Structure 1
Amino acid sequence: MRTSTAGAERGFTLLELVVTLAVIALGATLVLPRLGDARGLALAAAARRLADTVAYGRDRAILGGRPMRLVLDLDRGRWELGTPGRDPATVVPDASPTGRGGVLPAGVRLAAVTAGGTPAASGGIAALDLEPDGDALPARIDLADGSGRRAGVVVPPAGGRPRVEAE
Protein backbone atom coordinates (compact mmCIF):
# COMPACT_ATOMS: atom_id res chain seq x y z
CA MET A 1 0.00 0.00 0.00
CA ARG A 2 1.36 3.38 -0.95
CA THR A 3 0.77 6.56 0.96
CA SER A 4 0.97 9.99 -0.50
CA THR A 5 2.62 12.91 1.28
CA ALA A 6 1.44 15.50 -1.17
CA GLY A 7 -0.24 18.41 0.60
CA ALA A 8 1.14 17.48 4.03
CA GLU A 9 4.18 19.78 4.14
CA ARG A 10 6.09 20.12 7.34
CA GLY A 11 6.26 23.55 9.00
CA PHE A 12 5.02 25.76 11.80
CA THR A 13 1.60 27.27 12.03
CA LEU A 14 1.10 30.96 12.59
CA LEU A 15 -0.20 30.26 16.09
CA GLU A 16 2.99 28.37 17.03
CA LEU A 17 5.16 31.25 15.79
CA VAL A 18 3.15 33.85 17.73
CA VAL A 19 3.34 31.83 20.96
CA THR A 20 7.11 31.36 20.54
CA LEU A 21 7.67 35.08 19.97
CA ALA A 22 5.52 35.92 23.00
CA VAL A 23 7.62 33.63 25.22
CA ILE A 24 10.84 35.19 23.93
CA ALA A 25 9.49 38.71 24.52
CA LEU A 26 8.44 37.81 28.07
CA GLY A 27 11.87 36.39 28.81
CA ALA A 28 13.57 39.51 27.43
CA THR A 29 11.45 41.82 29.61
CA LEU A 30 12.57 39.86 32.68
CA VAL A 31 16.27 39.60 31.81
CA LEU A 32 17.21 42.89 30.13
CA PRO A 33 16.53 45.21 33.10
CA ARG A 34 18.79 43.07 35.26
CA LEU A 35 21.79 43.30 32.92
CA GLY A 36 22.71 46.67 34.45
CA ASP A 37 22.85 44.98 37.86
CA ALA A 38 25.36 42.45 36.55
CA ARG A 39 27.87 45.25 36.00
CA GLY A 40 27.51 46.33 39.63
CA LEU A 41 28.26 42.85 40.95
CA ALA A 42 32.02 43.41 40.91
CA LEU A 43 31.64 46.57 42.99
CA ALA A 44 29.35 44.89 45.53
CA ALA A 45 31.60 41.81 45.78
CA ALA A 46 34.71 43.96 46.30
CA ALA A 47 32.98 45.97 49.03
CA ARG A 48 31.84 42.78 50.80
CA ARG A 49 35.34 41.30 50.60
CA LEU A 50 36.89 44.46 52.04
CA ALA A 51 34.29 44.56 54.84
CA ASP A 52 35.05 40.92 55.64
CA THR A 53 38.78 41.73 55.78
CA VAL A 54 38.14 44.56 58.25
CA ALA A 55 35.94 42.29 60.39
CA TYR A 56 38.60 39.56 60.30
CA GLY A 57 41.30 42.06 61.29
CA ARG A 58 39.22 43.33 64.20
CA ASP A 59 38.56 39.76 65.38
CA ARG A 60 42.27 38.90 65.08
CA ALA A 61 43.20 41.97 67.11
CA ILE A 62 40.74 41.08 69.88
CA LEU A 63 41.54 37.36 70.02
CA GLY A 64 45.30 37.82 69.61
CA GLY A 65 45.57 40.69 72.08
CA ARG A 66 47.64 42.82 69.69
CA PRO A 67 46.74 45.54 67.21
CA MET A 68 46.18 44.89 63.52
CA ARG A 69 46.49 47.39 60.70
CA LEU A 70 44.72 47.59 57.36
CA VAL A 71 46.78 49.50 54.80
CA LEU A 72 44.89 50.71 51.74
CA ASP A 73 46.71 51.80 48.58
CA LEU A 74 44.16 54.07 46.92
CA ASP A 75 46.24 54.59 43.79
CA ARG A 76 46.80 50.90 43.06
CA GLY A 77 43.44 49.59 44.32
CA ARG A 78 44.83 47.12 46.82
CA TRP A 79 44.97 46.51 50.55
CA GLU A 80 46.96 44.49 53.03
CA LEU A 81 46.19 43.37 56.57
CA GLY A 82 48.77 42.57 59.22
CA THR A 83 50.41 43.68 62.41
CA PRO A 84 51.64 47.29 62.42
CA GLY A 85 55.10 47.82 60.98
CA ARG A 86 57.61 50.48 61.97
CA ASP A 87 56.32 52.93 59.39
CA PRO A 88 52.68 54.06 59.93
CA ALA A 89 51.81 52.90 56.40
CA THR A 90 53.31 49.40 56.56
CA VAL A 91 52.31 46.06 57.99
CA VAL A 92 53.90 42.74 58.71
CA PRO A 93 51.59 40.58 56.60
CA ASP A 94 49.29 38.14 58.35
CA ALA A 95 49.97 34.50 57.50
CA SER A 96 46.32 33.56 56.95
CA PRO A 97 44.67 33.66 53.50
CA THR A 98 42.36 36.47 54.60
CA GLY A 99 45.30 38.52 55.85
CA ARG A 100 47.24 38.38 52.63
CA GLY A 101 45.47 41.43 51.31
CA GLY A 102 43.47 41.91 48.21
CA VAL A 103 43.27 43.62 44.86
CA LEU A 104 40.16 45.27 43.50
CA PRO A 105 38.72 43.87 40.28
CA ALA A 106 39.21 45.75 37.03
CA GLY A 107 36.97 48.81 36.81
CA VAL A 108 36.61 49.19 40.59
CA ARG A 109 38.70 51.69 42.54
CA LEU A 110 39.17 52.93 46.09
CA ALA A 111 37.60 56.39 45.87
CA ALA A 112 38.18 57.73 49.39
CA VAL A 113 38.99 56.76 52.97
CA THR A 114 37.76 58.74 55.97
CA ALA A 115 38.77 57.84 59.53
CA GLY A 116 37.66 59.66 62.64
CA GLY A 117 37.37 63.37 62.01
CA THR A 118 40.16 63.56 59.44
CA PRO A 119 39.52 64.79 55.91
CA ALA A 120 38.90 62.13 53.29
CA ALA A 121 41.99 60.74 51.57
CA SER A 122 41.44 60.17 47.86
CA GLY A 123 44.94 59.09 46.88
CA GLY A 124 48.11 57.60 48.28
CA ILE A 125 48.21 55.28 51.29
CA ALA A 126 45.70 55.18 54.14
CA ALA A 127 45.90 52.99 57.23
CA LEU A 128 43.26 51.87 59.72
CA ASP A 129 44.45 50.59 63.08
CA LEU A 130 42.29 47.93 64.74
CA GLU A 131 42.90 47.80 68.47
CA PRO A 132 42.84 44.70 70.73
CA ASP A 133 40.06 46.18 72.86
CA GLY A 134 37.78 46.14 69.80
CA ASP A 135 37.60 49.90 69.50
CA ALA A 136 38.49 51.58 66.27
CA LEU A 137 38.05 55.04 64.92
CA PRO A 138 34.84 55.25 62.95
CA ALA A 139 35.85 54.95 59.32
CA ARG A 140 34.37 54.82 55.86
CA ILE A 141 36.02 53.31 52.79
CA ASP A 142 34.35 54.36 49.53
CA LEU A 143 34.64 52.28 46.38
CA ALA A 144 33.48 53.31 42.91
CA ASP A 145 33.26 51.81 39.45
CA GLY A 146 33.56 53.32 35.99
CA SER A 147 29.84 53.95 35.59
CA GLY A 148 29.56 56.13 38.69
CA ARG A 149 28.13 53.54 41.08
CA ARG A 150 29.52 53.72 44.60
CA ALA A 151 29.60 51.49 47.66
CA GLY A 152 30.92 52.26 51.11
CA VAL A 153 32.38 50.04 53.80
CA VAL A 154 31.41 51.61 57.12
CA VAL A 155 33.52 50.69 60.15
CA PRO A 156 31.53 51.67 63.24
CA PRO A 157 33.25 52.58 66.51
CA ALA A 158 33.15 50.39 69.60
CA GLY A 159 33.22 46.94 68.10
CA GLY A 160 30.38 46.93 65.60
CA ARG A 161 30.66 44.75 62.52
CA PRO A 162 31.66 46.60 59.34
CA ARG A 163 28.77 46.94 56.90
CA VAL A 164 28.43 47.70 53.21
CA GLU A 165 26.26 50.58 52.09
CA ALA A 166 25.35 50.91 48.42
CA GLU A 167 24.80 54.40 47.08
Structure 2
Amino acid sequence: MVFKGKIPKCSGREAGFTLLELMVVIFIIALAAGIVLPRLPEPEGTRLKSSARNLASGLRFLNDQAIITKKVYRLHLHLGENTTRITELSPSGEELQPGDQFMGRRLIEEGIDIEDVNVPALGVVTEGEVIIPFGPGGVADGVTIHLKGGEKHYTVTANPSGGKVTVQDGYQEVTS
Protein backbone atom coordinates (compact mmCIF):
# COMPACT_ATOMS: atom_id res chain seq x y z
CA MET A 1 0.00 0.00 0.00
CA VAL A 2 1.47 3.25 -1.09
CA PHE A 3 0.31 6.58 0.19
CA LYS A 4 0.05 9.22 -2.45
CA GLY A 5 -0.40 12.71 -1.12
CA LYS A 6 1.13 15.13 1.28
CA ILE A 7 2.14 13.96 4.68
CA PRO A 8 1.23 16.59 7.29
CA LYS A 9 4.21 17.93 9.15
CA CYS A 10 4.07 18.04 12.93
CA SER A 11 5.26 21.15 14.60
CA GLY A 12 7.54 20.53 17.53
CA ARG A 13 4.77 21.36 20.01
CA GLU A 14 1.07 20.45 19.98
CA ALA A 15 -1.58 22.74 21.49
CA GLY A 16 -2.48 21.96 25.14
CA PHE A 17 -0.87 21.82 28.56
CA THR A 18 1.72 19.43 29.84
CA LEU A 19 1.30 17.59 33.09
CA LEU A 20 4.04 19.71 34.63
CA GLU A 21 2.26 22.96 33.70
CA LEU A 22 -1.01 21.71 35.18
CA MET A 23 0.72 20.68 38.40
CA VAL A 24 2.34 24.13 38.74
CA VAL A 25 -1.02 25.89 38.26
CA ILE A 26 -2.75 23.59 40.81
CA PHE A 27 0.10 24.18 43.29
CA ILE A 28 -0.23 27.98 42.95
CA ILE A 29 -4.01 27.83 43.42
CA ALA A 30 -3.64 25.59 46.50
CA LEU A 31 -1.00 27.91 47.97
CA ALA A 32 -3.21 30.98 47.43
CA ALA A 33 -6.19 29.20 49.02
CA GLY A 34 -4.04 28.16 51.98
CA ILE A 35 -3.08 31.78 52.60
CA VAL A 36 -6.48 33.39 51.97
CA LEU A 37 -8.94 30.95 53.60
CA PRO A 38 -7.63 31.21 57.19
CA ARG A 39 -7.90 35.00 56.94
CA LEU A 40 -11.55 35.00 55.93
CA PRO A 41 -13.96 35.99 58.70
CA GLU A 42 -15.38 33.09 60.64
CA PRO A 43 -19.09 32.49 60.50
CA GLU A 44 -20.87 34.17 63.39
CA GLY A 45 -22.10 30.86 64.81
CA THR A 46 -18.54 29.57 65.12
CA ARG A 47 -17.38 32.73 66.90
CA LEU A 48 -20.39 32.56 69.24
CA LYS A 49 -19.72 28.93 70.17
CA SER A 50 -16.02 29.68 70.63
CA SER A 51 -16.83 32.66 72.86
CA ALA A 52 -19.20 30.58 74.99
CA ARG A 53 -16.55 27.90 75.44
CA ASN A 54 -13.83 30.46 76.22
CA LEU A 55 -16.06 32.13 78.81
CA ALA A 56 -16.88 28.77 80.38
CA SER A 57 -13.21 27.78 80.60
CA GLY A 58 -12.43 31.21 82.08
CA LEU A 59 -15.11 30.74 84.75
CA ARG A 60 -13.80 27.25 85.60
CA PHE A 61 -10.22 28.51 85.76
CA LEU A 62 -11.14 31.46 88.00
CA ASN A 63 -13.12 29.19 90.29
CA ASP A 64 -10.23 26.71 90.57
CA GLN A 65 -7.59 29.45 91.03
CA ALA A 66 -9.60 31.09 93.82
CA ILE A 67 -9.92 27.76 95.64
CA ILE A 68 -6.27 26.73 95.14
CA THR A 69 -4.63 30.08 95.94
CA LYS A 70 -7.15 31.15 98.60
CA LYS A 71 -7.33 34.55 96.89
CA VAL A 72 -10.28 36.62 95.75
CA TYR A 73 -10.70 37.27 92.04
CA ARG A 74 -13.33 39.33 90.26
CA LEU A 75 -14.69 38.86 86.76
CA HIS A 76 -15.89 42.18 85.35
CA LEU A 77 -18.45 41.83 82.56
CA HIS A 78 -19.03 45.07 80.64
CA LEU A 79 -22.36 44.55 78.89
CA GLY A 80 -22.29 47.70 76.75
CA GLU A 81 -18.75 47.05 75.50
CA ASN A 82 -19.10 43.24 75.43
CA THR A 83 -15.75 42.82 77.16
CA THR A 84 -14.43 41.00 80.19
CA ARG A 85 -11.67 41.84 82.64
CA ILE A 86 -10.26 39.81 85.53
CA THR A 87 -8.77 41.38 88.64
CA GLU A 88 -7.22 40.01 91.81
CA LEU A 89 -8.21 41.55 95.13
CA SER A 90 -5.25 42.39 97.35
CA PRO A 91 -5.49 41.94 101.16
CA SER A 92 -5.93 45.73 101.43
CA GLY A 93 -8.92 45.60 99.06
CA GLU A 94 -7.16 47.04 96.01
CA GLU A 95 -7.89 45.50 92.61
CA LEU A 96 -4.71 44.30 90.90
CA GLN A 97 -3.96 42.87 87.49
CA PRO A 98 -3.41 39.09 87.99
CA GLY A 99 0.02 37.72 87.13
CA ASP A 100 -1.37 34.74 85.21
CA GLN A 101 -1.36 35.14 81.40
CA PHE A 102 -4.58 33.18 81.02
CA MET A 103 -6.47 35.77 83.02
CA GLY A 104 -5.47 38.53 80.61
CA ARG A 105 -6.73 36.89 77.43
CA ARG A 106 -9.91 37.88 75.63
CA LEU A 107 -12.82 35.62 76.60
CA ILE A 108 -15.46 36.97 74.20
CA GLU A 109 -14.67 37.46 70.53
CA GLU A 110 -15.33 40.62 68.56
CA GLY A 111 -18.92 40.88 67.32
CA ILE A 112 -20.39 38.70 70.08
CA ASP A 113 -22.75 40.42 72.55
CA ILE A 114 -23.28 39.76 76.24
CA GLU A 115 -27.07 39.94 76.12
CA ASP A 116 -27.67 39.67 79.86
CA VAL A 117 -26.26 38.29 83.10
CA ASN A 118 -28.36 36.67 85.82
CA VAL A 119 -26.90 36.74 89.33
CA PRO A 120 -29.18 35.83 92.26
CA ALA A 121 -28.17 38.93 94.27
CA LEU A 122 -28.86 41.32 91.35
CA GLY A 123 -31.38 39.52 89.19
CA VAL A 124 -31.18 39.90 85.41
CA VAL A 125 -28.81 42.69 84.35
CA THR A 126 -28.94 43.92 80.74
CA GLU A 127 -26.65 46.97 80.84
CA GLY A 128 -23.66 48.38 82.66
CA GLU A 129 -21.06 46.32 84.49
CA VAL A 130 -21.54 43.13 86.47
CA ILE A 131 -18.82 42.00 88.87
CA ILE A 132 -18.73 38.31 89.76
CA PRO A 133 -16.54 37.50 92.80
CA PHE A 134 -14.64 34.24 93.16
CA GLY A 135 -13.47 33.66 96.74
CA PRO A 136 -11.55 30.88 98.50
CA GLY A 137 -14.72 28.77 98.28
CA GLY A 138 -15.12 29.42 94.55
CA VAL A 139 -18.06 31.30 93.08
CA ALA A 140 -20.46 32.18 95.91
CA ASP A 141 -23.63 32.55 93.84
CA GLY A 142 -24.54 30.89 90.62
CA VAL A 143 -24.32 32.99 87.49
CA THR A 144 -25.92 32.68 84.07
CA ILE A 145 -24.56 34.60 81.09
CA HIS A 146 -26.40 34.81 77.77
CA LEU A 147 -24.29 35.46 74.68
CA LYS A 148 -25.72 36.50 71.33
CA GLY A 149 -24.26 36.46 67.83
CA GLY A 150 -26.69 37.47 65.09
CA GLU A 151 -29.85 35.52 65.79
CA LYS A 152 -28.15 32.67 67.70
CA HIS A 153 -27.74 32.44 71.48
CA TYR A 154 -25.60 30.46 73.88
CA THR A 155 -26.08 30.16 77.63
CA VAL A 156 -23.13 29.78 80.03
CA THR A 157 -24.04 28.76 83.59
CA ALA A 158 -21.68 28.52 86.59
CA ASN A 159 -23.08 26.66 89.59
CA PRO A 160 -21.94 27.60 93.10
CA SER A 161 -21.75 24.03 94.37
CA GLY A 162 -18.68 22.31 92.96
CA GLY A 163 -17.95 25.02 90.40
CA LYS A 164 -19.54 23.13 87.49
CA VAL A 165 -19.87 25.29 84.37
CA THR A 166 -22.15 24.34 81.49
CA VAL A 167 -22.54 25.68 77.96
CA GLN A 168 -25.92 25.25 76.29
CA ASP A 169 -27.08 26.11 72.79
CA GLY A 170 -29.90 28.66 72.75
CA TYR A 171 -31.28 31.07 75.32
CA GLN A 172 -31.91 28.94 78.40
CA GLU A 173 -33.98 30.32 81.26
CA VAL A 174 -32.57 29.92 84.75
CA THR A 175 -34.56 27.89 87.24
CA SER A 176 -33.69 28.32 90.90
Superposed displacement of residue 104, structure 1: 2.9
1:153 aligned residue (147, 153, 156): 156
Moved over 4 A (4+): none
- TM-fit CA distance, 1:144: 0.3
**Structure 1 portions without partners, runs of 5+:** 4-36
- Give the % identical residues: 20
Q: Aligned-residue CA RMSD in angstroms?
A: 2.9
Q: What secondary structure is seen at the aligned counterpart in 1 of 2:138?
A: coil
Matched residue, 1:165? 168
What pairs with 1:16-95 in structure 2 (closer than 5 Å)?
Answer: 38-84=43-89, 91-95=95-99
CA contact (8 A) 2:52 2:156 kept: yes
- Tell me if the contact between 2:52 and 2:108 (Cα under 8 Å) persists in the aligned partners: no
**In the aligned structure 2, how far is the partner of 1:71 from the partner of 1:115?**
13
Q: What is the aligned partner in structure 2 of residue 27 from structure 1? A: none
**For 1:111, which of 109, 112, 115 is the aligned residue?**
115
Q: Which residue of 2 aligns with 1:98?
A: 102
Q: Would the aligned equivalents of 1:77 and 1:103 in 2 still touch at CA under 8 Å?
A: no
SS at 2:57 equivalent:
helix
**Aligned partners of 2:67 and 2:136 also within 8 Å:** yes
Measured against aligned partners, the alpha-carbon deviations of 1:64-101 in whole angstroms (never above 9, x if no partner) come to 11221111111111111122379x9x942211121115
5+ unaligned residues in a row in structure 2: which ranges?
Answer: 1-6, 9-41, 171-176
Q: 1:103 to 1:135 in 2, by over 3 A?
A: closer
What residue in structure 2 maps to residue 20 of structure 1?
Answer: none
Which residue number corresponds to residue 12 of structure 1?
Answer: none
- Cα pair 2:58 2:107 within 8 Å, conserved: no
Match of 1:130 in 2: 134
What is the CA–CA distance in structure 2 between the aligned matches of 1:160 and 1:55, rounded to whole Å? 7
The one-character-per-residue Cα deviations of 1:118-143 (angstroms, maximum 9, x if unpaired) are 32111110011112123420110110
Tell me, in whole angstroms, the C-alpha distance in 2 between the residues paired with 1:122 and 1:74.
7
Q: 2:95 & 2:124 partners in 1: Cα distance? A: 21
Q: Distance in 1 between matches of 2:48 and 2:89?
A: 28
SS in structure 2 at match of 1:120: strand
Give the paired residue count: 135
With the length of structure 2 as denominator, give the TM-score of the two structures: 0.66
Larger radius of gyration: 2
Measure, in 1, the Cα distance between the counterparts of 2:97 and 2:53.
21
User: SS of the counterpart of 2:56?
Assistant: helix
SS at match of 1:45: helix
